[in-house]
């Protein structure tokens, strides 16, 4: 209701411009019991049902930072809605309202979990299933130097390469899908991984299909050979590292900026002047605390 209070709700603006795409990104949505209630990613994730699936056995559910609801179920879904509406407008010539709720967005994002419940992937308690840290062949393991390796050897041919790389005898091990043996196998794998450094395990598993990769830190990720070959990360003029825009378009690839991110309020005056505000009007807005400035100081 914030935009309606300003007299800038979608109905008003669509009357002015029927081709307008008006996106509304919220946590709980425009309507419903929690519509006007405060919340954060963890709350939207909880209400979507997804949080109940995240976590290890005998532990509380945990939220993976704030990526799922805020960015995936919220930002990305909203952007996809805008793109869909823009494409539809090329056919109808009309705009429309995009109602992007993070609860609904992350729930829809989890459709795989709902649709695969009867396939044997999620029919056990949290933390005991194939992809939620239950399986010994889909897990992270600590190395002797305190780093980690990620294992995702689901298919039998990949699992066999995992066993070979670990130096174990497949004939002396239980069946890969023997659920009752999974806890024991996880301990066995953990003991083996703890015997070598991350670099040593990389030398064993690189160039194989065992689906074993290093868990790279933010400090190491840009210098990893694969990421360097793909130019997956960039440095700005402050030597700060960040991911290169993705996905890569063949004809119109994104051109990343190598300048530092602007400070909040750094370009306020510049933008308002560009839009026709006078210096006096801008000064009045600033004195009334409607806008703020944040000019960078010289490093002299």
- State the catalytic residues: 40, 70
Cβ neighbours of 102 (radius 10 Å): 30
Q: What are phi and psi of 177, to 5 degrees?
A: -100, 25
Which residues face 25 on adjacent strands?
Answer: 100
First to last CA, the chain: 47
Separation CA 96–CA 86 (nearest Å) = 9
Cβ-proximal residues to 139 (8 Å cutoff; 6+ apart), any chain: 133, 151, 186, 189
The answer to whether 176 and 168 have CB atoms below 8 angstroms apart is: no
The answer to whether 127 and 57 have CB atoms below 8 angstroms apart is: yes
Separation CA 204–CA 165 (nearest Å) = 6
DSSP type of residue 55: S
Which residues face 234 on adjacent strands?
Answer: 242
Cβ neighbours of 137 (radius 10 Å): 23
Cα separations in angstroms, 298 against 196, 293, 295: 49, 15, 9
The answer to whether 182 and 125 have CB atoms below 8 angstroms apart is: no
């Amino acid at each position: 209701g914030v935009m309606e209070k300003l007299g800038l709700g979608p109905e008003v603006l669509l009357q002015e411009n029927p081709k307008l795409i008006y996106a509304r990104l919220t946590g709980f949505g425009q309507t419903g019991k929690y519509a006007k209630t405060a919340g954060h990613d963890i709350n939207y994730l909880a209400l979507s049902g997804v949080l109940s699936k995240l976590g290890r056995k005998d532990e509380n559910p945990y939220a993976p930072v704030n990526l799922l609801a805020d960015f995936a179920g919220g930002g990305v879904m909203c952007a996809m809605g805008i793109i869909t509406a823009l494409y539809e407008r090329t056919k109808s010539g009309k705009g429309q309202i995009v109602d992007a709720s993070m609860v609904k967005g992350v729930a829809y994002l989890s459709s795989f979990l709902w649709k695969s419940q009867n396939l044997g992937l999620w029919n056990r308690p949290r933390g005991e299933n194939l992809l939620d840290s239950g399986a010994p062949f889909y897990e992270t393991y600590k190395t002797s130097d305190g780093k980690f390796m990620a294992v995702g050897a689901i298919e039998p041919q990949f699992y066999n390469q995992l066993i070979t790389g670990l130096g174990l005898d497949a004939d002396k091990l239980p069946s890969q899908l023997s659920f009752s043996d999974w806890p024991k196998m996880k301990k066995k794998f953990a003991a083996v991984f703890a015997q070598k450094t991350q670099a040593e395990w990389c030398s064993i598993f690189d160039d194989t299909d065992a689906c074993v990769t290093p868990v790279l830190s933010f400090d190491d990720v840009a210098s990893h050979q694969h990421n360097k070959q793909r130019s997956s990360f960039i440095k700005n003029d402050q030597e700060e590292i960040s991911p290169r825009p993705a996905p890569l378009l063949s004809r119109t690839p994104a051109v990343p900026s190598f300048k530092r991110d602007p400070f909040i309020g750094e370009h306020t005056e510049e933008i308002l002047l560009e839009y026709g505000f006078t210096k006096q009007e801008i000064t009045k807005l600033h004195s009334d605390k409607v806008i703020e400035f944040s000019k960078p100081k010289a490093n002299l």
